[in-house]
Copies of this chain bind each other. A is one copy, B any other.
């Protein structure tokens, strides 16, 4: 490919809309252009990287006996009615009707489509286990798409679905897939990926892991134990909390006026006590019944909505009492004297606490010296967000560390959530009809691409690992008007192309500075600079984009040296497997 023909302008200026490194560089390097909110066109360099990532994913999926299929992007709603997700999933599921008024949707994940296929093709136990996967466009109507390719609405995803006759088999396969995912990241040159336990969320099911690329700019948070390797995302992370000491002698409850102290800070100031002596209340609405649920947590902690959702077994939303019909004194809620019809839960952080301040269930009133030991144990649960004050729940030896990350993959043990609701069965050895269980496994191609930039880019542009680089070799012909430069650069281009390399050839009549800046933005791993000055000495310059190599070699040896360097760069990746 010659640069003079390559479509995609490159920019010096940092695009004002880009906060993330990858977002800015993808625009600056001519990789992506926005078409609408969270919707992008990929230009050739990005498409080439994506294709290589897809190829690696495909090889790894085939390696664990996956069979590639292709499900539709547009699905009839009936399938999602069967699973119940047509109703249960929020607005991120884009629903519409076709010309006949038939309900349709854009697939954001394809469990239903996979079961639709598998239930006619997996009718005998002899076929089990099996895994089918696709690499296909998905659409998720994100409320706030952002970060370039990190959080988009339309994206290419590899989604895989495995079917099993028993949990043991699912679990075995699940960890095979876990390993395949690790190989994918390593082969794509993405470092700093850890797998963390996660909440299965709207997918349903029991055990799930997210693969997190640790990165300061990541929008997800992960709890990590530096001692034992415990890792979990915020939705499921737990920690051991040092109990509050010095609660003193148990005193009698006392109602006190606390005017204008709707929030924790003002109340602490007003009463002159630390936050951990307070009981905070958060009110949610249960999606299933529409009723209110109050969750109490220690004043210095936060309620973890995901944990509450799992505990209640229904979706929840923070409750706002717009018209006062709740008859709840928002901001002054306490466990005592609260309407008895209201469901109440306490976070474990409050276990054993007394002499604490609670709301008085009356505006501008709190109660001092409350004793929470009177509430039954079964109303206490782990409902708070983990903090760095907490100690690892696994080894107990170190404090939790919170890290930011970008989710670059997820795997779920779904169990029978979809197979059961969609009536999928297989005939067992003895002819009995049984319900299979499922796992599902996703990787977003574009997000992986962007993460590799976050991981490896320098100030000048991406540093593509050779395994996924848009081209492997970049030739800069400096002063190509010089006949010898043209001749040597053209010859090298032909030679390297014939040798099977993907070569980007900067044949433009531009200064070395402009050419090098463009080359940095395109991030091709091996660069060959042909210039009059070098040619006078009979050499060309070879550099790697990662700066590990910069040397001059005789022209005649250039191609074979490029081959060596390419093999070395590839070996570095392979050695990590």
A498 interface contact, C-beta 8 A: no
Cβ contact within 8 Å between B154 and A39: no
Residues on B with beta carbons closer than 8 Å to the beta carbon of A117? 7, 33, 41, 43
Taking CB atoms, residues of chain B closer than 8 Å to A43 are 67, 69, 117, 121
Determine if A75 is an interface residue (Cβ-Cβ < 8 Å): yes
User: At the interface, yes or no: A127 with Cβ under 8 Å from chain B?
Assistant: yes
Q: Is the CB of A50 within 8 A of B36?
A: no
Q: Is the CB of A5 within 8 A of B68?
A: no
- Does A42 sit within 8 A of B, measured CB to CB? yes
From B41, B73, B78, B127, A137 is in contact (CB under 8 Å) with B73
Q: Give complex CA distance A92, B127 in Å.
A: 40
* Shortest Cβ distance from A58 into B: residue: B51
Most chain B beta-carbon neighbours within 10 Å: one of A44, A122, A126: A44
A30 sits at the interface (CB 8 A):
yes
A41 to B4, CA, bound (A): 41
The yes or no answer to A159 lying at the interface (CB within 8 A) is no
Contacts of A30 in B (CB 8 A): 121
Measured CB to CB, the closest approach of chain B to A315, in angstroms, equals: 17
Chain B residue nearest to A94 (CB atoms) is B98
Smallest beta-carbon distance A336→chain B, Å? 42
* Interface of chain A residues 116 through 164 with chain B (CB within 8 A): 116-118, 120-123, 126-127, 130, 132, 134, 136-137, 139, 141, 143, 153-154, 156
> Is A65 an interface residue, CB under 8 A from the partner?
yes
Contact status A70-B94, CB under 8 Å: no
Say whether A547 faces chain B, with CB atoms less than 8 Å apart.
no
Complex Cα spacing A137 to B72, Å: 9
Q: Which B residues are in CB contact (< 8 Å) with A33?
A: 116-117, 120-121
In the complex the two chains form, what is the Cα distance from A99 to B68 in whole Å? 32
Complexed CA–CA distance, A40 and B141 (Å): 23
Chain A 374-404, CB within 8 Å of chain B: the 1/0 string?
Answer: 0000000000000000000000000000000
Is A76 part of the contact surface with B, judged by Cβ < 8 Å? yes
Q: How far is the CA of A4 from the CA of B69 in the complex (A)?
A: 17
Asked if A69 contacts B42 (CB within 8 A), the reply is yes
A565 within 8 Å of B (CB atoms): no
Please tell me if the beta carbons of B8 and A72 are within 8 angstroms of each other in the complex.
Answer: no
Q: Does A18 contact B (CB under 8 A)?
A: no
Kindly report which residue of chain B lies nearest to residue A116, judged by CB atoms.
B35
- Flag whether A333 is at the interface (Cβ < 8 A): no
Which of B96, B97, B127 makes the CB contact (< 8 A) with A7?
B127
Closest Cβ of chain B to A33, distance in Å, is: 6
From A8, A36, A116, A120, residue with most partner B Cβ within 10 Å: A36
| B75 with A35: CB separation less than 8 A | yes
Interface residues of A in 17-48 (CB under 8 A from B): 30, 33, 35-37, 39-44, 46-48
Q: What residues of B have a CB within 8 angstroms of the CB of A99 in the complex? A: 91-92, 94, 141, 143
Contacts of A82-131 to chain B: CB distance below 8 A:
91-92, 94, 96-99, 102, 104, 106, 113, 116-118, 120-123, 126-127, 130
A419 to chain B, nearest CB (A): 15
B residues in contact with A50, CB < 8 Å = 70
- A interface secondary structure, majority: mixed
Indicate whether A7 sits within 8 Å of B137 (C-beta atoms), given known contacts A69-B41, A72-B41, A76-B39.
no
A134 to chain B, nearest CB (A): 8
B74 contacts A154, CB within 8 Å?
A: yes
Q: Which residues of B contact A121 (CB under 8 A)?
A: 7-9, 30, 33, 43
CB distance from A75 to the nearest CB of B (A): 7
Q: Does A264 contact B (CB under 8 A)?
A: no
A71 on the B face (CB < 8 A): yes
Give the residues in chain B near A35, CB-CB below 8 Å. Answer: 71-72, 75-76, 79, 113, 116
Cβ–Cβ contact A7 & B118, under 8 A: yes
Q: Which residues of B contact A75 (CB under 8 A)?
A: 35-36, 39
Q: How far is the CB of A425 from chain B (nearest CB, A)?
A: 15
Contact yes or no, A72 B39, CB < 8 A? yes
Answer whether A47 and B73 are a contact pair too, CB < 8 Å, given A113-B35, A127-B7, A141-B98: no
Flag whether A481 is at the interface (Cβ < 8 A).
no
The minimal Cβ–Cβ distance linking A358 to chain B, given in whole angstroms, is 39
A6 at interface, CB cutoff 8 A: yes
CB A573 to nearest CB in B, in angstroms, measures 23
| Minimal Cβ-Cβ distance residue in B for A39 | B72
Q: Which of A5, A70, A99 has the most CB of B within 10 A?
A: A70
Separation of A229 and B556 alpha carbons in the complex (Å): 55
B5, B68, B72: the one contacting A36 at CB < 8 Å is: B72
**Do A41 and B70 have beta carbons less than 8 Å apart?**
yes
Q: 18 interchain pairs (CB within 8 A)?
A: A1-B67, A5-B67, A7-B69, A7-B127, A33-B116, A37-B102, A39-B76, A41-B69, A41-B116, A42-B69, A47-B69, A72-B154, A73-B73, A74-B139, A74-B153, A91-B99, A96-B97, A137-B137
Q: Which residues of A contact B (CB under 8 A)?
A: 1, 4-9, 30, 33, 35-37, 39-44, 46-48, 50-51, 65, 67-76, 78-79, 91-92, 94, 96-99, 102, 104, 106, 113, 116-118, 120-123, 126-127, 130, 132, 134, 136-137, 139, 141, 143, 153-154, 156
